[in-house]
Amino acid sequence: MRLARRLCGVAAIFLFFLHPACAERLVLSLSNDRVQIASNFVGENLVMFGAIEPDAGKDLHQGGYDLVVTVTGPRETMRTRRKQRVLGIWVNVDSREFVRVPSYLAVLSNRPVRQITDAGTLRRLQLGLDNFLLTQRIGPDIADTVRDDPFRTAFIRLQSQHGLYREAGDAVKFLTPAVFRAETPLPANVPTGVFTINVKLFAAGVMAAETNAALEVIKTGVEQYVAEAAVAHGLIYGMATMFLALLTGWIASVVFRRD
Amino acid sequence: MQIYLPIADMPVNVFLILGMGLAVGFISGMFGIGGGFLMTPLLIFVGVSPAVAVATVSTHIAASSFSGALNYWRRRAIDVALALMLLSAGIIGTATGVWLFTELRAVDQLDLVIGILYVSLLSAVGLFMIYESLKAELRTRKGLPSLLRRPGSHSWLHGLPLKLRFKRSKIYVSAIPVWGIGFIIGFAGAIMGIGGGFLLVPMLIYFLRVPTGTVIGTSMVLTLITMASATVMHAVTNHLVDAILALILMVGGVIGAQFGARTGQRMRGERLRLLLGILVFLVGLRFAFELVVQPEDLYSIRHVGDM
């Protein structure tokens, strides 16, 4: 039975239309596909609802399902540095560049990913922070390292401390056997740009279906105006800010004039 | 009340930032300094990235120094010739500083150099001011006249060539130390994100013997010009000036500065210098502490493309 499921799963990935016997479909809906950063933004919870639909005439898989939702923010290049004591003071002696890694990464599942499927599958599908490909520049090469590489673990730890990386084995909840809800906080320092959401459905440790969605984090109102002006018209923006400073100074000297 | 800063990309409490502006403004008005050496570390402490902090503080200092400079202008307490002379070397210092800033950033040693500069400059200047003002304080206790400006007591600085006369300050000094001081201020300003008033005022007093009447006004003009141009430069090159953050800081800063100036005028010069010396020294110590004590986390992340 398990072998049959696995075969179906492989088929589902490559030839799902030729093998309708075990095909499920995933439907996903976001609470908000455009997160707007206005002047009162202090972070937001991203809520996703989804449903598992068996094909016409089929039943839901008897053993129940597992879900892994990976939310990936816009890619950025970041450098992780390590301090060491040199002549009594703490100095950055070593650094490693993480090339085009997600600025936000959340791996959400209904139970810890290790319990969902085997290590090889997790590795291949990049499920979980340990298995997600974080490319580093090592000399002339760009590659990921072993998962317990000190720079890699430090990078994940620091990003997690800022609320930017997280792995939650209890963030996906089944409301009914076929309807689920997933939730992840987007912190106040969330990067702006396009976020991708990937949902993978597992049945008995084998991937049965997959779907993708996207959401956009953008600045609006005054925040958008200021941020755009600062980048697009640096000189005018700089001059305007300077005159604002002079004006403030001048008003203060007039208001508080004592002679 | 939280407000999201568009360039710093983070929400802050408006009243916290306003309060920081007021407090630093009070100190800056009291001592006639910009207060960048306090404001930049404070902003970094509340979570603003160092690059945005350095760039935005320059705007804040431009506002407070303009307000101060206008007051001193009305009282004719500004030596324009001296300010321009300092400025001419200050520009070269700033350019050197910006160049070194970029180089150090590339090799991840900027934090270290900023730390060492803060420690050495602040503790040296602080200790020197404490020493000088205590000496003056003791003299007044004994009933002797203040010795700050002894006629005819010339140091070796006054023996240098290229002598110039600055009428408003009533001093006759060589251009070399003037340029030297201007260079150091420009350099320190670019690297440390400070206006340099706390360095400039004591240097003008102790090395050039600029009288107390014109020293603060002149220092403010120099600070105003360097910080106003720094604002524009930072905005053009790195897009790092946060206008919203700057505005909140400025409003707090200029109000605080007025109260600070009133308090300052009620105090004797020696006492004021002693207090400033202690303050500067303490900030220096704090930076020394940071360099020597093992950091909580040995690792840190830097976004490539900013500081």
Determine, yes or no, domain membership for A139: yes
Contact yes or no for B63 and A246 at CB 8 A: yes
Same domain membership, residue A214 and residue A227 = no
Contact yes or no for A248 and B247 at CB 8 A: yes
B258-284 burial string, b = 16+ CB within 10 Å, else e?
Answer: bebbeebeeeeebebbbbbbebbbebb
Q: Tokens 């802050």 sit at which residue? A: B12
Instruction: Report the residue from B6, B75, B299 with minimal CB separation from A80.
Output: B299
Residues of the domain holding B82: 10-148+155-285
- For chain A, the domain total comes to 2
Same domain membership, residue A129 and residue A41 = yes
B3-44 per-position pLDDT tens digit:
888 888 888 899 999 999 999 988 888 887 778 888 988 898
Same domain membership, residue A127 and residue A82 = yes
Determine, yes or no, domain membership for B235: yes
Same domain membership, residue A192 and residue A156 = yes
Q: How many helices (H) and strands (E) does chain A have?
A: 6, 14
Return d(Cα B196, Cα A171) in angstroms, integer: 51
Residues of the domain holding A152: 25-219
Determine, yes or no, domain membership for A198: yes
Is residue A2 exposed (0-12), middle (13-18) or buried (19+ Cβ within 10 Å)? Answer: exposed
Query: How far A150 CA lies from chain B's nearest CA (Å)?
Result: 10
Instruction: Report the residue from A43, A88, A248 with minimal CB separation from B251.
Output: A248
Asked if the interface predicted TM-score (ipTM) of this complex is over 0.90, the answer is no
Determine, yes or no, domain membership for A15: no
B229-285 per-position pLDDT tens digit:
888 888 887 788 899 999 999 999 888 888 887 887 787 777 888 888 898 899 888
Determine, yes or no, domain membership for B1: no
Same domain membership, residue A153 and residue A86 = yes
B121-173 per-position pLDDT tens digit:
889 888 988 888 888 888 877 776 655 544 445 566 666 667 777 777 777 77
Of B196, B264, B215, the residue nearest B30 (C-alpha): B264
Determine, yes or no, domain membership for A18: no
Kindly list the residues from chain B whose CB atom is less than 8 angstroms away from the CB atom of residue A227: 6-7
Query: How far B243 CA lies from chain A's nearest CA (Å)?
Result: 6
Instruction: Report the residue from A238, A245, A257 with minimal CB separation from B250.
Output: A245
Same domain membership, residue A228 and residue A180 = no
Same domain membership, residue A139 and residue A243 = no
Same domain membership, residue A165 and residue A102 = yes
Q: What letter does residue B300 receive in the DSSP assignment?
A: E
- For chain B, the domain total comes to 1
Q: What is the pLDDT along chain A (259 residues), one digit of tens a residue?
A: 455 555 544 444 544 444 444 578 889 998 888 898 888 888 899 999 999 988 777 777 777 889 999 999 999 999 898 888 888 888 888 888 898 899 999 999 999 999 999 989 998 999 989 889 888 887 777 777 777 888 999 999 999 998 999 999 999 999 998 899 999 999 988 998 999 999 999 988 888 889 999 999 998 888 888 888 888 888 899 899 999 999 998 898 888 776 5
Return d(Cα B43, Cα B140) in angstroms, integer: 39
Determine, yes or no, domain membership for B16: yes
Same domain membership, residue A181 and residue A116 = yes
Kindly list the residues from chain A whose CB atom is less than 8 angstroms away from the CB atom of residue B234: 238
Same domain membership, residue A75 and residue A31 = yes
Same domain membership, residue A231 and residue A141 = no
Determine, yes or no, domain membership for A173: yes
Determine, yes or no, domain membership for A3: no
Same domain membership, residue A172 and residue A77 = yes
Kindly list the residues from chain B whose CB atom is less than 8 angstroms away from the CB atom of residue A80: 299-301
Determine, yes or no, domain membership for B173: yes
A79-99 burial string, b = 16+ CB within 10 Å, else e?
Answer: bbbbbeeeeebbbbeebbbbb
Kindly list the residues from chain A whose CB atom is less than 8 angstroms away from the CB atom of residue B300: 80-81, 83, 92, 158
Query: How far B141 CA lies from chain A's nearest CA (Å)?
Result: 33
Q: For the domain that residue A68 is a member of, what is the CATH number? A: 2.60.40.3880
Contact yes or no for B243 and A226 at CB 8 A: yes
Q: What letter does residue B140 receive in the DSSP assignment?
A: H
Kindly list the residues from chain B whose CB atom is less than 8 angstroms away from the CB atom of residue A88: 292
